[in-house]
Amino acid sequence: MIGNQEELVGPGALSRVTWALRRAELAVQTLKEKRLRPLGMVAAHYTLLMSVHSEPGLIGAELARRLNVTPQAVASLVTRLESRGQLERREHPRHRHVQELHLTDAGREAMHAADEVIADVERVITEALGSDAAGHLRALLNQVTDTVRDA
Amino acid sequence: MIGNQEELVGPGALSRVTWALRRAELAVQTLKEKRLRPLGMVAAHYTLLMSVHSEPGLIGAELARRLNVTPQAVASLVTRLESRGQLERREHPRHRHVQELHLTDAGREAMHAADEVIADVERVITEALGSDAAGHLRALLNQVTDTVRDA
DNA sequence: TGTGTCATGTCAAACGTTTGATAGTAAGTA
DNA sequence: TACTTACTATCAAACGTTTGACATGACACA
């Protein structure tokens, strides 16, 4: 019986859910980057701008936790976006050396342009699957996230 | 109407399938790394060993394509795994300066140990979802991959 | 028999991230 | 008030990957 399992290790591993998950995420991410490139933007920039847009005044450390990256990575991105005039740091009203992040008008504009591209990618997927299956997929993915998060 | 869409950009973006996909993949990957660390291995090593195991004699360039990384990244990993004695490069019988990759006994052992960990992560997920939903999820993910790949 | 074309593998440099360490600031506590 | 404790932000170094360029070797074709 052990022998059977041994022989199935190879092919079995390639048909795992986590493998399909990795491939799908990689494919989607690659497409996003490709579509975003003409706008002079990468997915990480879009994600950051979108996050700040949906929660204005977010601070760097909190943003790092939401995006699952290190604070330094956020700082690096923020510095770049700030130098482009798309994002600005403001002093936190209560904590002096804490910085709130806010979008500038240019930042909002860039974000909306990028969001159109991302929304289109989303649309391609949901149309191919059907809105019913797409909703099901989203629910299953969220369940995976919750399951794995406390494992 | 445009106004309505504008206001929905923020919250809408966070409920997208591609967002759920990213979060799930990130969570799964993080768990894998955490479980693999005690074995002195990272997910990239496991993936490479598993690929070579399932297709012995694979060459570097082909491996790079399968894993969606650059040949240089593969070479870097191969060099490390080779120095650990888990992988070996052999001269391709027909093409002299092409290198076939083969697992050593130590490599097979390490791969199996790692696979046990990965299989457990997979099991946690499939049990939480039920094997029925897990199969459905895998099918949906593959459909996403195929859809996005030629878009 | 040359010759062009393609693919593999390697080197070097640039880039972005993580890890580790440090300084500054606010809040809770003795 | 003084003193922890916790959190934020920043600097410096290490690490891994990508990008670009190059040499080698095999195959197809004139």
Q: CATH number, domain at B119?
A: 1.10.10.10
Residue B19, pLDDT above cutoff 50: yes
B113 CB within 8 Å of a chain A CB: no
- The HSE-up count of residue B117 (CA atoms within 13 Å, CB side) is 22
Contacts of B23 in chain A (CB under 8 A): 141-142, 145
Residue B3 identity (one-letter amino acid): G
- Residue A58: domain span: 19-149
Q: How far is the CA of A15 from the C1' of C24 (A)?
A: 52
- Per-residue pLDDT of chain A in tens (151 residues, 90 and over written 9): 444 444 556 567 778 999 999 999 999 999 999 999 999 999 999 999 999 999 999 999 999 999 999 999 999 999 999 999 999 999 998 898 999 999 999 999 999 999 999 999 999 999 999 999 999 999 999 999 999 988 8
Residue A70 CB lies within 7 Å of the nucleic strand C:
yes
Q: How many CB pairs under 8 A join A and B?
A: 170
Whether residue B102 lies inside any domain: the answer is: yes
Whether residue A143 lies inside any domain: the answer is: yes
Residue B78 CB lies within 7 Å of the nucleic strand D:
no
pLDDT tens profile B33-62: 999 999 999 999 999 999 999 999 999 999
CB atoms within 10 A of CB A119: 16
Residue listed under structure tokens 């694979």: B58
Residue listed under structure tokens 């700030």: A82
Q: Are B36 and B42 in contact (CB under 8 A)?
A: yes
Handedness of CA B111, B134, B28, B59 (dihedral sign): positive
Whether residue A33 lies inside any domain: the answer is: yes
pLDDT on residue B150: 80
Task: Check CB contact under 8 Å for B31 and A124.
Answer: no
pLDDT on residue A10: 59
Q: What is the mean pLDDT of residues B3-9?
A: 52
CB atoms within 10 A of CB B134: 19
* Spatial distance between the Cα atoms of A60 and A38, rounded to a whole number of angstroms: 27
pLDDT on residue B12: 72
pLDDT on residue B9: 67
Whether residue A131 lies inside any domain: the answer is: yes
Task: Check CB contact under 8 Å for B24 and A124.
Answer: no
* Spatial distance between the Cα atoms of A35 and A38, rounded to a whole number of angstroms: 7
Whether residue B122 lies inside any domain: the answer is: yes
pLDDT on residue B8: 57
A121 CB within 8 Å of a chain B CB: yes
pLDDT on residue B1: 47
Touching A: B residues 92-111, CB under 8 Å: none
Which residue of chain A is at minimal alpha-carbon distance from B51? A10
Per-chain mean pLDDT for chain B: 92
pLDDT on residue A11: 61
Residue B22, CA distances (Å) to A47, B47, B127 in order: 11, 19, 21
pLDDT tens profile B74-108: 999 999 999 999 999 999 988 988 999 999 999 99
Phi, psi of A70, rounded to the nearest 5 degrees: -80, 155
Contacts of B114 (CB under 8 A, 6+ apart): B36, B39, B41, B45, B46, B49
B1 CB within 8 Å of a chain A CB: no
The encoded tokens of residue A71 equal 């604070």
Whether residue A3 lies inside any domain: the answer is: no
Touching A: B residues 45-64, CB under 8 Å: 50, 53-54
Whether residue A76 lies inside any domain: the answer is: yes
Number of domains in chain A: 1
* Spatial distance between the Cα atoms of A141 and B7, rounded to a whole number of angstroms: 26
Strands A99-103 and A87-91: antiparallel
Specify which residue's alpha carbon is closest to the C1' of nucleotide D18: B70
Touching B: A residues 29-48, CB under 8 Å: 29-32
Whether residue B117 lies inside any domain: the answer is: yes
